[in-house]
Structure 1
Amino acid sequence: MSDLLFSAPSVHTIAVEGESAEFPVHRIFCVGRNYAAHAAEMGNVPDYEAPFYFTKSPAHAVSSGAVIPYPPGTQNYHHEMELAVLIGTPAFRVSEAEALDAVYGYCCALDMTRRDLQNDSKAERRPWDMAKDFEASAVFAQARKAADFGAAKEQRIHLEVNGKTRQDASLAELIHSVPAMIADLSKYYHLGAGDVIMTGTPAGVGPVVAGDVLRGGIEGLAPIELTLMDAE
């Protein structure tokens, strides 16, 4: 191996229930507008034809329980509670019937968003990178193996900010199911161990400020928590 000019960034890992070894994050794919009510609250028409995606850098991932600063460059910083799917084996051009064979496990996740920058990007028809892919914008809780969690069907998904409910829905409301998302994404990428798919957020997203404490959960999974402090 060649010498490096500076230290390479460490790999972010997700703790797994019952395992001493952790799940290393390779890539993070995010599904947009995957709950009809959320699409509507953002002023969009739900698309039932096919999912669409954006990405986040693994370097921008943090673990549940983190205390992070309010991010720079925004005045409208939003929470988005999500189910994350952890891929454990290769999946390329798989069918929906085959898709779940690639799943290692599931966990609660937060897709933190600079909403004002996203709205600006939409207005200018520009990419969402500045709004979605920034430091500490992907938060992951402890994962549970797929066999222990079961199918993602009607489990409750919810988020509270300072103890007040903001988001409260069911995984049954997903427009595109977990196997449908994996099968579709596998048309475009050689999915493999370490890939993570954040499956979209239900309605009720909203702004958070320094001092807020976010707590969320999905029935059958370890809860997630995030605390915001003043900007650095």
Structure 2
Amino acid sequence: MTLARADLAQYVDHTLLKPEATPGDVEALATEAGELGVFSICVSPSMLPVSTPAGVAVATVCGFPSGKHHSSIKAAEAALSIAQGADEVDMVIDVAAAIEGRFDEVQDDIAAVRAAVPTDKVLKVIIESAALSDESIVGACRAAVAAGADFVKTSTGFHPAGGASEHAVRLMRETVGDALGVKASGGIRTADAALAMIEAGASRLGLSGTRAVLDGLDGSASASDGEEAGGY
């Protein structure tokens, strides 16, 4: 597998979720997104609305980063983000519910946010895969499918357990099949790691160091040469 720079860029949600990010930082992120040709920018909901260059979508987060919010609060946050121009919402599940196998609760949580996000907008579900067993990853992904999500996503990038791994991405893809997208996010810092995630089944990448990853594409012969990525 090989990818041209422009093709790899179209997998990327160019991300800035640091608590100290300013409106000026977000404006710079949007400008850089246009220069790099990425799919979208991903910013905190308090940064909305934000203008982006033509062809660059706007993503935001919901219940971030802990997921320990009432479903009604997550739904309200998602609805406000859509009203303020977000095209995509990345919500965090209650990770403890997945760890304990309470997948009906996980599904209900996702469904509440799905009801607040119109079907012409994209809902991604962050499962914090590094903190889950394989069984819990599968259960959380099945809950996302049943609740009508569009993507499952590995990580917030803020959990001490770590970020994306090839194993988790592969398991997530095997579970959701072609029904949902799979977003790998957290600790992907090199072109080799990015290609490895795509080969494992990722259809989107969350990157904060996008330029460095794209600049490193030269000499990255194939995704099979990649290294597994950890947390931030």
TM class, shorter-length: under 0.3
**Which structure has more strand as a fraction of its residues?**
1
TM-score w.r.t. length of structure 2: 0.25
**Which structure has more helix as a fraction of its residues?**
2
Q: Which has the higher contact order (CA 8 A, sep 6+)?
A: 1
Find the structure with the greater CA-based Rg: 1
